[in-house]
Chains A and B, each alone.
Chain A
Amino acid sequence: MNGMHDLGGAHGMGPIAPEPNEPVFHAEWERRMFGLFIASFAGGHFNVDEFRHAIERMDPAHYLESPYYEHWLHSAETLLVEKGVLGREELEDRKARLAKEGS
């Protein structure tokens, strides 16, 4: 249990720097990711403990660097692929297609 996520008491993480008048979401993808989590959670594809455990399995350096909702994205992708709901290639292909359409 003492992975990178177990931060209580760690030194050297710097100042807290609260953001004044912080919006609920900082980007459209965060907004969609939040909704996707609730929807797939409600769909019974994973429970909250599995969800957090998949976050804790992230690469520790990337865990610290990445924005919070990217943790959720990583966890949802990991669990949906592990449970056979989606294929890893399917995700990659769709991403490539959307990138092309968007350019």
Chain B
Amino acid sequence: MAHDGHNAPLSDTALRVKALESLLVEKGLVDPQALDAIVDTYETKVGPHNGARVVARAWIDPEYKRRLLQDATAAIAELGYSGVQGEDMVVVENTPEVHNMVVCTLCSCYPWPTLGLPPNWYKSAPYRSRAVIDPRGVLREFGVSLPEDAEVRVWDSNAELRYLVLPMRPEGTEGMGEDQLAALVTRDSMIGTGLAKAPSKRAA
């Protein structure tokens, strides 16, 4: 952020973006207010809290879970999440036997309506290169160790198909409501580089 202070000179990259925006606005090809609205949507409204609602619903409603695993796009849309980069969704379920993990080796494909925009590490060379050749090593780096006999499945996203992991429901969450459960669902647990959080003992 150092280059973006009001008094610091702009970096070459920042100047290029400014030049591009200035010309597109001048030619009437981009509406700056529409641009502000787009940025605001993805910065403040769309994010992993959406995906967490999907997961929590699947944990408490077996019929919803069945629909989710059968036709994820439609089941996710039931909760109001749809649109760009989520047109064709597949949900993969973690079990004690199978752990799923999602990557985009070629670029940065990610389910925007349910998870928002991807973190930098997801788009970085280290994750993209290693997720498919050393998934257990990657999981260890994220602090996740799986039983030796658990199978790891890695799903390589593409422009047409986006994956969301349905993490296992943590133990000790019996009787918890949808809101409380959603609070346990982390972004990484839906990418497959993490697990859902255990409930705190004092949770109301």
Contact = CB atoms under 8 A, between A and B. Distances in A.
Contacts, number: 164
B106 interface: yes
A11 B129 contact: yes
Nearest to A87: B23
For chain A, which range describes its interface: under 10, 10 to 19, 20 to 34, or 35 or more residues? 35 or more
Contact of B159 (A7, A36, A52, A86): A52
Interface in A14-67: 14-19, 22, 24-29, 31-36, 38-40, 43, 45, 48-49, 52, 55, 64, 67
A75 to B, nearest CB: 11
A26 B17 CA distance: 14
B21 A36 contact: yes
Nearest to A31: B39
A10 to B, nearest CB: 4
A50 to B, nearest CB: 11
A52 B64 CA distance: 35
B3 to A, nearest CB: 7
A34 B39 contact: yes
Interface string B166-192: 000000000000000000000000000
B116 interface: yes
Nearest to A26: B1
Given A18-B119, A34-B38, A40-B24, A91 B124 contact: no
Interface in B1-32: 1, 3-4, 9-11, 13-24, 27, 29-31
A7 B13 contact: no
Given A15-B141, A68-B108, A32 B29 contact: no
Contacts of B123: 68
Interface stretch (B51-59, B88-96, B130-138): B130-138
Contacts of B1: 26-27
Given A22-B119, A34-B42, A77-B20, A8 B132 contact: yes
A17 B3 CA distance: 23
Contact of A52 (B15, B84, B107): B107
Given A9-B129, A29-B10, A91-B20, 7 more contacts: A8-B156, A16-B138, A18-B142, A22-B119, A26-B1, A32-B21, A99-B10
Interface of B: 1, 3-4, 9-11, 13-24, 27, 29-31, 34-36, 38-39, 42-43, 47, 84, 103, 105-108, 116-117, 119-121, 123-133, 138, 141-142, 156, 159
**A-B pairs with the 7 shortest C-beta distances?**
A8-B105, A35-B35, A29-B14, A94-B19, A10-B129, A95-B19, A7-B128
10 contacts: A26-B120, A29-B13, A35-B38, A39-B30, A39-B35, A40-B29, A49-B159, A91-B23, A98-B18, A103-B9
